Amino acid sequence: MTIHSVEGACHEPPLILLADDDRLTRTILCEALQKEGYRVAEVSDGQACLEAYKAVRPNLVLLDAMMPVMNGFDCCTRLLTLPGSHHTPILMITGLDDQTSVDWAFQVGATDYVTKPIHWSVLRQRVRILIEKSQLYQELEQAYDKLKLVASVDSLTQVYNRRVFDEYLDSQWQNLLNEQSPLSLILGDIDEFKAYNDTYGHQAGDYCLHKVASALKQSIKYPTDLVARYGGEEFAVVLPKTSAAGAVHVAETIQTQVAALNLAHVGSCTKKHVTISLGVASTIPSNESSAAALVRAADKALYQAKAQGGNCVIFKN
């Protein structure tokens, strides 16, 4: 694979992956595309195109239909199985102008096609339009992802919100019901938080919530574990495939991490720094129970921890 860059570009131009077995055609197209401001990666067959696509992630694939090793139709079919490829336009170049070949190109997933001999003015406009559409689609998708993130994350603590917690707990319950693996839940409540707000003010209270949320995130170990703000000064930690003993260990780690923040709390009756009470529940999901029952068990454990003076971990089976 050869990559041709654009000299003097102040930002990285779009990259076109050109696959054609004819050296002269590749040379002419490379020069023309570079003059339009594109970078070009060139290969000579369909198999090399697949490997190059995985290596360079182009903005557009310019694909000759008839090549040795692997033709363009087969290459197009396989390209669309690669991760992220559904956003990449594929422009097929073919010397076959019959309706069957055109239909075949679209059936295998080509976005558009041009025929040989290539009319540069036509190809130039199609390349430009396809890349602009692809970039617009990606920008819209990125904006959508940002909106989803905003809708999923509590703005103050930067952990997931209650809606995500509810959905995630229900989905994990269903997953682990089939696997017959344990599901554990921790509910935590900052001790005497109202007194903290009354003593230090709501701005300090917001800072306290943010720091405690960070301590919770640092205490989990696996990508499937989830920390969420449950409401007010309460937090929830979902621990899929974690036993009761493992969940209690995570809760004790949270307790240690929160204490290590060393946030002064002169109004506390337990310690003179911010502490947290934690209720732990664990079960193997079954049709006889529910995710709501797990939440109730963790909530009862948390209530018991608060009743015992706070700053402790209580497990309820």
Active-site residue set: 233
If we measure between CA atoms, which residue out of 27, 295, 7 comes closest to residue 168? 295
If we measure between CA atoms, which residue out of 168, 172, 185 comes closest to residue 248? 185
Assign residue 35 a region: left if phi > 0, alpha if psi is -120 to 50, beta otherwise?
A: alpha
Question: Rounded CA gap, 72 and 69, in Å?
Answer: 10
Task: Yes or no: say if 291 and 184 are a contact pair by the CB < 8 Å rule.
Answer: no
Strand partners, 310: none
How far, CA to CA in Å, does 52 sit from each of 2, 29, 42, 90, 124?
10, 18, 9, 14, 22
Question: Rounded CA gap, 243 and 182, in Å?
Answer: 6
Query: H-helix or E-strand containing 123?
Result: helix 120-152
For the chain, how big is the Rg over CA atoms in Å?
29
Question: Rounded CA gap, 138 and 135, in Å?
Answer: 5
